[in-house]
Homo-oligomer: A and B are copies of this chain.
Amino acid sequence: MRSLRSVALVLLATFGLAGCADRPVDRTADAAVGSDSNAIAALPSWNDGEAKQAIVDFVARVTDPASPDHVPPAERIAVFDNDGTLWSEQPMYFQALFAIDRVKAMADEHPEWREMESFRAVLDDDREAVANLDLHDLLKVIMAAHSDITTDEFEAVVEDWLATARHPRFGVAYDQLIYQPMVELLEYLRAHEFKTFIVSGGGIDFMRSFTEDAYGIPPDQVVGSSGGLEFRMDDGVPTLNKLPDIDFVDDKEGKPVGIYRYIGRRPIFAAGNSDGDLQMLQYTAPGDRAAFGLIVRHDDAEREVAYDRDSHIGRLDVALTEAPGRGWTVVSMKNDWKKVFPLPDLP
């Protein structure tokens, strides 16, 4: 359904260069998460302000049986983008860093890759060469890291990578770079009988390896981009192989499609951080129904990275322009969040 080109364009940003911020300042914050309905206790890493108040007011409105905007629990569907919304996406999408590490780890078994410009650029950490690659060649590299492997093997490879790889700036495992205020928001919504889903352009199998531990979101509530799968009985053993093709790109117009296909219900709460989330926000909260649109704005150069309209990764331009007219809440990481990451030593 999607052209290879559109797929590749999505993935290209992956390898772009992104601005680097200064070292973070250590802070302390109470990252404990409450599960009751008291907003002050339940969203401890949020500063008081318009954004937090808007969230609390909305949840009160749709959960109050006496409110004209009351929504029954079964219809309280909340969807969250992942990269840049629930965890960091700088200096590039973490899954791209995984793909690079994986291609390097597989290189010995694939001496032919040394003869291919695209793979050589990745193997040599030549970012400029990677950025100038033909889109089809680039896609081949990404797919090589995610296919010709059984699903069980792939899960083990991702878990191993998450356990051992370290972020270049913060020096911690990538799944420690989740946003504490957003984890609290997920728990706050679930405490009010929302069902929380991830709807992300990231690879669905990659994300499912950590979303339950990191966010309390089980695999069947993760929607993402996916490749082909093939089922076989190998000597009586059921085996699913990941194929080197793209089945579904869960980005831009793909997000409402992914929501309907996987969830089958229109959400009443959507959170994103980039133009890749525009259509999901439009579908959820076009402005004429009781629904909440939230945009995480990366404006904190000190504690994370500041980027929006001109960024290769997580570009936020059209959605930012459209936000006021549709009543979406723009969350300033700098002003609305007391703390960014859960680890005490991180900002």
Contact = CB atoms under 8 A, between A and B. Distances in A.
Interface of A: 1, 74, 77, 151, 195, 197, 204-205, 208, 212, 218-222, 226, 228-231, 233, 236-238, 240, 245, 247, 253-254, 256-257, 260-265, 279, 282-283, 286-287
Given A74-B218, A231-B283, A204 B261 contact: yes
Contacts of A245: 1
A240 B283 CA distance: 9
Contact of A256 (B221, B222, B238, B247): B238
A220 B263 contact: yes
Contacts of A257: 229-231, 240
Q: Which 8 A-B pairs have the closest CB atoms?
A: A219-B264, A231-B256, A238-B283, A231-B253, A220-B263, A229-B257, A208-B264, A219-B265
A286 B236 contact: yes
Q: Is the interface of A mostly helix, strand, loop or mixed?
A: mixed
Contact of A261 (B212, B229, B238, B286): B229
Contacts of A220: 77, 195, 197, 220-221, 262-265
Contacts of A218: 74, 264-265
A193 B33 CA distance: 25
Contacts of A236: 286-287
Nearest to A278: B233
Contact of A264 (B77, B222, B263): B222
A286 B236 CA distance: 7
A245 B231 CA distance: 23
Contacts of A1: 228, 245, 247
Nearest to A263: B220
Given A74-B218, A220-B262, A236-B286, 9 more contacts: A197-B220, A204-B261, A208-B264, A230-B257, A231-B253, A231-B279, A233-B286, A240-B256, A240-B257
Contacts of A265: 218-220
A221 B264 CA distance: 9
Contacts of A282: 233, 238
28 contacts: A1-B228, A74-B212, A195-B220, A197-B220, A205-B264, A218-B265, A219-B265, A220-B220, A220-B262, A220-B263, A220-B264, A220-B265, A229-B257, A229-B260, A229-B261, A230-B253, A230-B257, A231-B253, A231-B254, A231-B283, A233-B282, A233-B286, A236-B287, A238-B279, A238-B282, A238-B283, A238-B286, A240-B283
